[in-house]
Amino acid sequence: MKNCRRASPTVRPDVSVVSTLAVVIALAVFVIDALTSLEIAAGVFYVVVVLLVASAGNRPATIGAAWGCVALTLLGFVMSHYDAYSGGAIARCLVSLLAIATTSMLALRNLAATAMLHEQVELLNLAQEALARSTAELAHVTRITTLGELAASVAHEVTQPIAAIVTCGGAALRWLNRPAPEIDEAAQSVTQMIRDAKRADEVIQRIRAMARKHDRLPATSNLNGICSESIELVRFELERHDIELETDFAVPAPTACCDRVQLQQVLINLIMNSAQAMLAANGPRRLRIVTRWFDDAHAQVIVQDSGTGISEDDRGRMFNAFFTTKAEGMGMGLSICRSIVEAHGGRIWAESPDDGGAMLQFILPVDKGRCHEQ
């Protein structure tokens, strides 16, 4: 899933510095307006004070500054024209007041728009975070559902090494209980027991990793290894439905900076979808899994089946949420696959080869030393 980035807050000037500077400018304008005989509308320069205070983003302070400038303008007018009020002086005073009022209204409108924009950005950030959490929760639920569907395969994978351990243990006892104990043969049986115990532990660890709820942990991963692990988890299902499996892995193996468990989830979804698509098809059931270099910067994984294929109408929407061609499907598996692949900087799509069936494939950026080894 894609990470959410909060928008950087707008940097506001220090209020105390702005206030001090505004007071200095206001007093300078007042002195020029009230104590000199310049025939100009010096009060117009009060707009600088209003704009300066508004730049701090404080609405009450901006209103206060505007009224203060109006008061200073009127006071300056009275002090400089106490003996006579000429038409020109009154006009200059009105121009100053109009400039202050117009600037203040525009500044206040800008502050309101800015505040609304910040609020909308904050709401958007919250919505993105909520969407990311929901997507992660849904992906976790899908993994659990997938494990439920693979219960027979999981049981088969665990039962096989346990049965082998029991067999090797019995053989070791027989070698040791002979009149002349066969130590070498017993040791070989114990070695096989250790190997099978490690195999059972690896299966259990893969199952626990798939079921565990965790944040995305990108690391350098061998795509050939991820494909092999995913195949082992579904092998019993493939054998149960007489599906012939063919693998064609690139050498050297491509690596990607990715979350190993999430990539397993993508592959298992694609493999299971292909297996189910072949159940309704006549003829041989062949599944082909390929890893290869897409280009210098990307590795590609292909899952190709000999099923009924993909219609032209379905091809463009099969990765959309809630779209499914299965009677009991939820339409979330492929949508989550797309979210995971795109969150890793990749792309996923489907094709219908000329020889029939469906080809689901995705590409991922090749790791360039950005991640730690996993």
Task: Decide which of 230 and 133 is more confident.
Answer: 230
- Residue 290's pLDDT band, with cuts at 50, 70 and 90, is very high
Does 321 score more than 60 pLDDT?
no
Q: What is the tens place of the pLDDT at every residue in 160-206? A: 678 778 888 888 898 888 888 888 888 988 988 887 787 777 767 76
Whole-number average pLDDT of the chain: 76
Residue carrying the six token digits 């082998």: 164
Out of 17-31, 44-58, 235-249, 284-298, which region has the weakest mean confidence (pLDDT)? Answer: 17-31
Q: What would the mean pLDDT of 145-162 be, rounded to a whole number? A: 62
- Taking the C-alpha atoms of residue 214 and residue 200, their distance in angstroms, rounded to an integer, is 23
Least confident residue range of 118-132, 254-268, 322-336? 322-336
CATH of the domain spanning 215-374: 3.30.565.10
Per-residue pLDDT tens digits for 337-351: 888 888 888 998 888
What are the sequence ranges of the domains in the chain?
A: 15-128, 150-213, 215-374
User: In the predicted model, what is the mean pLDDT of residues 114-131?
Assistant: 83
Lowest mean pLDDT among 177-181, 215-219, 279-283: 215-219
Interval 349-356 mean pLDDT: 83
3-class SS letters over the chain = CCCCCCCCCCCCCCHHHHHHHHHHHHHHHHHHHHHCCCCCCHHHHHHHHHHHHHCCCCHHHHHHHHHHHHHHHHHHHHHHCCCCCCHHHHHHHHHHHHHHHHHHHHHHHHHHHHHHHHHHHHHHHHHHHHHHHHHHHHHHHHHHHHHHHCHHHHHHHHHHHHHHHHHHHHHHHHHHCCCCCCHHHHHHHHHHHHHHHHHHHHHHHHHHHHHCCCCCCCEEEEHHHHHHHHHHHHHHHHHHCCCEEEEECCCCCCEEEECHHHHHHHHHHHHHHHHHHHHCCCCCCEEEEEEEEEECCEEEEEEEECCCCCCHHHHCCCCCCCCCCCCCCCCCHHHHHHHHHHHCCCEEEEECCCCCCCEEEEEEEECCCCCCEC
